Structure 1
Amino acid sequence: MTRKPALSFWQIWNMCFGFLGIQFGFALQNANVSRIFQTLGADVGDIPMLWIAAPLTGLIVQPIVGHYSDRTWNRLGRRRPYFLLGAVLTTLALLWMPNSPTLWFAAGLLWIMDASINISMEPFRAFVGDQLPPRQRPLGYAMQSFFIGLGAVVASLLPWILARVGVSNVPGASGIPDTVKYAFYAGAVVLMGSVLWTVMSTREYPPEALAAFDDAHDAAPVSVNAAAATRWGVICALVGAIASALVVWLRVEKEVLLLTVGVALFGLALLWLSRTRSAGMARQVLADVFTMPQAMRRLAWVQLFSWFALFAMWIYTTPGVAEHHYGTTDVHSAAYNDGANWVGVLFATYNGFAALAAIVIPWMVRRFGLRVSHLINVWLGGAGLLSFLLIRDPSWLVVSMVGVGFAWASILSLPYALLSDNLPAHKMGVYMGIFNLFIVVPQLFAAAVLGLLLKLFFHGQPIYALALGGVSLVLAGLCVLRVGEPVAESTSPLTGNSHA
């Protein structure tokens, strides 16, 4: 047998079901952590720096997890050990987060929570590539998008629902309302249960079976151009060092220094890569980053602008809506907590529309192709974020979330469909981890510059972060036109449609 067998609908359902719980925890984090930070005393200008733990953790964790999951095989399989480990750690973090006694304790828990989510999330992407033949992979990623939307809807709504059934929404002795506490407890149960379902209801192909399938695309060993690595290493190291010196001299916000030092360190890493001949994990991951496929390089720009916009939305929607639509910056006021709960409803709404979009997007791909479909969807999201400036009644912001939902579903599926068929089977995990760097880097960039941009150009008003996100999604749509459209493959036995 050289052709990977197609899986049934319910087999694909089971292998993607764990994403329901992962997104449940992720959505609770996105919708409530800024609120927890402000409740514990954070200034709105400090929120990006406190959030820096999330993307920085992904930058480190995802390629490492991908590298080792490609090389793992035990009685649980290849990817499932990482699903389970990440789920246990995330569950513990969810139970502790709403009981944080101090701001810095909460920031540390965010770091742990995001690292744990990344341990589970990255192998789930590679899992689809491992288990499904190329013609079913778009269906697998769409199924993941469906569970992402479904989990996030319920998780984002939980504080609002709990308040409606009588749970106190007033900050208690710890400063965190009971609505938020109980939502996090429920998230811990859902996350652990759904990941256990996937672990127990699926099986994996052993490495030798994967290598024998005709979609393996085994590639030659990576060869690094030492001269090119040296050239780019010198450029990055010098630019980062000079920019860092200017940041210190001009006393620019410390968040920017994190970005410039990161560029310098990447340059030094490339210089090390050009000199070393070791076969260790660090060199192999760096070599894979430096020699990534062209499709991944072009998609990197799409991801850069897409995830910059999403990060701006996640960290600034609560303070932006509270100030712009509810007229308050007092985090202990009833108006602020009403606004924060409404943001949870809005986040649930866009995730609900994302679940519906996951059903519509396959039709769009058949009609317009992958690239144009993605352009349409991210432009709808851009229009949704820009409309926050124009809409005054917060109830009407639900309409804005239609576009955001379509963009979110598309971002979670179509770039992976554009990419996955070009990846060798024995490096599916590490390349998916590297591709996720282009989720992480724009979030680091956003955390570094958003606070500065708001202060310099928008009088510190957080609502304008959403406007910047809208413009960024428009640019993401333009960048996707540079990516080649994959050649259509054979008909899917589940959908009857031709997939890229």
Structure 2
Amino acid sequence: MQKPKLGFWDIWNMSFGFLGIQFGFALQGSTMSRIFETLGANKDEIPLLWIAAPLAGLIVQPIIGYMSDNTWHKRLGRRRPFFLVGAVLSSIALLFMPYSSEVWIAAGLLLVLDASINISMEPFRALVADKLPESQRSYGFVVQTLIIGVGTWIASNLPKFMNNTLEISNEAAPGVVPDSVKVAFGVGAFVFMASILVTIFTTKEYSPEQMAAFDDADEHEEKKGMWATILSTYALMPTIMKKLGVVQFFSWFAFFAMWTLANPALTEHVYNAPKPDVKDFAQLDDNDEVLLDANQATLFLNQAAQDDYKTQDKAYNDASDDVGSKMGIYGLSSMIFALALTFYTAYNSINRKFVHMASLTLGAAGFLLMLYIPGQPDYLILSFTLIGIAWGSILSMPYAMLSSSVKASKMGLMMGVFNMFIVIPQIVAALSGVVFLSSLIGEESIHAMTIAGIFLLLSAVSNLLITNKNAITYQPSIDNE
């Protein structure tokens, strides 16, 4: 029994919640390192502070995948209960994040935020495969990528918009996150909740009986417990998943490097506006700690030192706003790429492997270009445009290739297990992987972006491992008779 094909707006509505999910991820990716630097973290410490994010994914994704495969609520269905729970928890974490007073508090909230986002995100990946026939799955994942691109672009521009358009200050006392960032995270929390509710209210899921009929499932298949099922899935993962895992490893290592270190690297190398160390301008005690007055305000050496700190800090905040805005371009270009791919794949077959390979190569060029543009931030438009093409492909092609080889009854679990190949490279990168490899090239922080470019090239070449014809060749989603 075949699933009926869905129209564009049905696919759009079922994927719309990803707008909110991407608001959470984009605010985190474009602003989290800025928050860590503001709270006093050294730039070399930032990747390790981010480790909570991939650790949350490693633990949460397969568990939520299994649970959503085996859940049925008579009103909310199979996946939508997880959308709702994740949205509530993520919105709360987004609201509190910019009010962190210590680095460890921000790192803890990042763990909560990422765990919560994963509760919503993995069932969303599985929903595309649940609802769409094989012929429409690439189409569905590309539409999802289109919405992700919109969310990335808008959310990354929010702090700059708050400052430049709404005139909400991007300046603050040492160790305090600016109001423009606080308001941006508040908007992100609202959009997260609202967009998830759109999907919940507009999308109806197939019942377990209908899914079994579509999947031609073996009704006598042995049922195992959650941990036994997850462990057996890891042990028996299909070959195509392992090969795609190599591609994913290099891709996600590169993007983790960007999310964690693009702000310190680009504010320093391209804008010549690194985060000033308040200790260079303030009075210090015998333990080399900044002295505070009765109101807990920093005691500067003198008025000139205070003015100099404020000038440099404003330059850093302005540069950070612009870095975030420029990073949003990768969301915009991924959106345009996804839109073009949506229209093309609606009527034509594509070679998924070569599309992904070419896209990753262009993204690598975008990262490598950054080394050669000190003092020329306008060139970042080109860099992030190319990176966005890679991002658009990363969010669609691997999932489309994988879904061709996975049973619908285990789609949520398989998507969760597959994301092991997303979180492990991020954990490796966080455990000094990026810092160590970039230090082999040079001490400048921009070399983290050079490493990202090299790893995307390795990811592109790794596509040559994929030989499964069913995964590689995509048939058009709309009959062209």
Partner of 1:451: 435
Q: Which amino acid aligns with 2:191?
A: V
Q: Give per-residue Cα distances to partners, 1:383-425, cap 9 Å, x unaligned.
A: 0000000112011110111110100000000011111021111
Q: Are 1:388 and 2:389 counterparts?
A: no
Query: 1:303-318 maps to which residues of 2 (within 5 A)?
Result: 303-318=248-263
Q: Give per-residue Cα distances to partners, 1:216-245, cap 9 Å, x unaligned.
A: 5669969xxxxxxxxxxxxxxxxxxxxxxx
Query: 1:197-346 maps to which residues of 2 (within 5 A)?
Result: 197-213=198-214, 215-216=215-216, 279-331=224-276, 333-346=313-326
Instruction: Return closer, same or farther for 1:114/1:135 CA change in 2, 3 Å cut-off.
Output: same
Uncovered stretches (5+) of structure 1, i.e. residues with no partner = 223-277
**Separation (CA, whole Å) in 2 of partners of 1:209 and 1:163:** 51
Judge conservation of contact 1:364–1:373 (CA < 8 Å) in 2.
Answer: no
Shift of 1:455: 3.8
Q: Which amino acid aligns with 1:429?
A: G
Partner of 2:196: 195
Q: 1:469 is matched with which residue: 445, 452, 461? A: 452
**Separation (CA, whole Å) in 2 of partners of 1:155 and 1:13:** 19
Q: Are 1:348 and 2:293 counterparts?
A: no
Uncovered stretches (5+) of structure 2, i.e. residues with no partner = 277-311
Instruction: Return closer, same or farther for 1:497/1:48 CA change in 2, 3 Å cut-off.
Output: farther
Shift of 1:290: 1.2
Q: Are 1:399 and 2:398 counterparts?
A: no
Shift of 1:337: 1.1
Shift of 1:486: 1.9
Shift of 1:322: 1.1
Partner of 2:86: 86
**Separation (CA, whole Å) in 2 of partners of 1:38 and 1:46:** 9
**Separation (CA, whole Å) in 1 of partners of 2:405 and 2:349:** 23
Q: Which amino acid aligns with 2:14?
A: M
Shift of 1:68: 0.7
In structure 1, the residue corresponding to 2:469 is in which secondary structure?
coil
Instruction: Return closer, same or farther for 1:287/1:105 CA change in 2, 3 Å cut-off.
Output: same
Q: Give per-residue Cα distances to partners, 1:15-39, cap 9 Å, x unaligned.
A: 0000011101110011111000110
Q: Give per-residue Cα distances to partners, 1:72-112, cap 9 Å, x unaligned.
A: 00121000000000000000000000111111111100000
Judge conservation of contact 1:324–1:463 (CA < 8 Å) in 2.
Answer: yes
**Separation (CA, whole Å) in 1 of partners of 2:53 and 2:156:** 18
**Separation (CA, whole Å) in 2 of partners of 1:406 and 1:490:** 22
Judge conservation of contact 2:438–2:451 (CA < 8 Å) in 1.
Answer: no
Instruction: Return closer, same or farther for 1:490/1:400 CA change in 2, 3 Å cut-off.
Output: closer
Partner of 2:43: 44
Instruction: Return closer, same or farther for 1:219/1:326 CA change in 2, 3 Å cut-off.
Output: farther
Q: Give per-residue Cα distances to partners, 1:331-375, cap 9 Å, x unaligned.
A: 462221122111111111110000000022357764751111111
Q: 2:477 is matched with which residue: 492, 495, 498? A: 492
**Separation (CA, whole Å) in 1 of partners of 2:131 and 2:157:** 33
Judge conservation of contact 2:352–2:474 (CA < 8 Å) in 1.
Answer: no
Partner of 2:340: 360
Return the TM-score normalized by structure 2. Answer: 0.87
Partner of 1:429: 412
In structure 1, the residue corresponding to 2:273 is in which secondary structure?
coil
Partner of 1:184: 185
Partner of 2:360: 378
Judge conservation of contact 1:19–1:195 (CA < 8 Å) in 2.
Answer: yes
Partner of 1:133: 133
Shift of 1:456: 4.7
Q: Are 1:482 and 2:465 counterparts?
A: yes
481-490 or 435-444: bigger deviation:
481-490
Q: Which runs of 4+ in 1 moved over 4 A?
A: 215-222, 362-368, 487-491
Q: Which amino acid aligns with 2:204?
A: R
Instruction: Return closer, same or farther for 1:218/1:489 CA change in 2, 3 Å cut-off.
Output: farther
Counting matched residue pairs gives 438
**Separation (CA, whole Å) in 1 of partners of 2:2 and 2:273:** 60
Shift of 1:489: 6.9
Q: Are 1:24 and 2:4 counterparts?
A: no
Partner of 1:144: 144
Judge conservation of contact 1:305–1:472 (CA < 8 Å) in 2.
Answer: yes
Partner of 1:71: 70
Shift of 1:149: 0.3
Q: Which amino acid aligns with 1:330?
A: K
Partner of 1:246: none
Q: Aligned Cα RMSD in Å?
A: 2.0
Shift of 1:160: 0.8
Q: Among the aligned pairs, what percent are the same residue? A: 47
Partner of 2:285: none
Instruction: Return closer, same or farther for 1:175/1:418 CA change in 2, 3 Å cut-off.
Output: same
Q: Which amino acid aligns with 1:147?
A: I
Q: Are 1:411 and 2:394 counterparts?
A: yes
Q: Are 1:102 and 2:102 counterparts?
A: yes
**Separation (CA, whole Å) in 1 of partners of 2:224 and 2:221:** 11
Partner of 1:268: none
Instruction: Return closer, same or farther for 1:456/1:401 CA change in 2, 3 Å cut-off.
Output: closer
Instruction: Return closer, same or farther for 1:211/1:35 CA change in 2, 3 Å cut-off.
Output: same
In structure 2, the residue corresponding to 1:333 is in which secondary structure?
helix
**Separation (CA, whole Å) in 2 of partners of 1:106 and 1:64:** 25
Shift of 1:454: 3.2
Instruction: Return closer, same or farther for 1:472/1:489 CA change in 2, 3 Å cut-off.
Output: closer
392-401 or 147-156: bigger deviation:
392-401
Judge conservation of contact 2:250–2:455 (CA < 8 Å) in 1.
Answer: yes
Q: Which amino acid aligns with 2:97?
A: M
**Separation (CA, whole Å) in 1 of partners of 2:335 and 2:3:** 28
Partner of 1:114: 114
**Separation (CA, whole Å) in 2 of partners of 1:473 and 1:383:** 9
Judge conservation of contact 1:382–1:404 (CA < 8 Å) in 2.
Answer: yes
Instruction: Return closer, same or farther for 1:64/1:171 CA change in 2, 3 Å cut-off.
Output: same
**Separation (CA, whole Å) in 2 of partners of 1:73 and 1:189:** 27
Q: Give per-residue Cα distances to partners, 1:241-274, cap 9 Å, x unaligned.
A: xxxxxxxxxxxxxxxxxxxxxxxxxxxxxxxxxx
Judge conservation of contact 2:56–2:111 (CA < 8 Å) in 1.
Answer: yes
Judge conservation of contact 1:371–1:485 (CA < 8 Å) in 2.
Answer: no
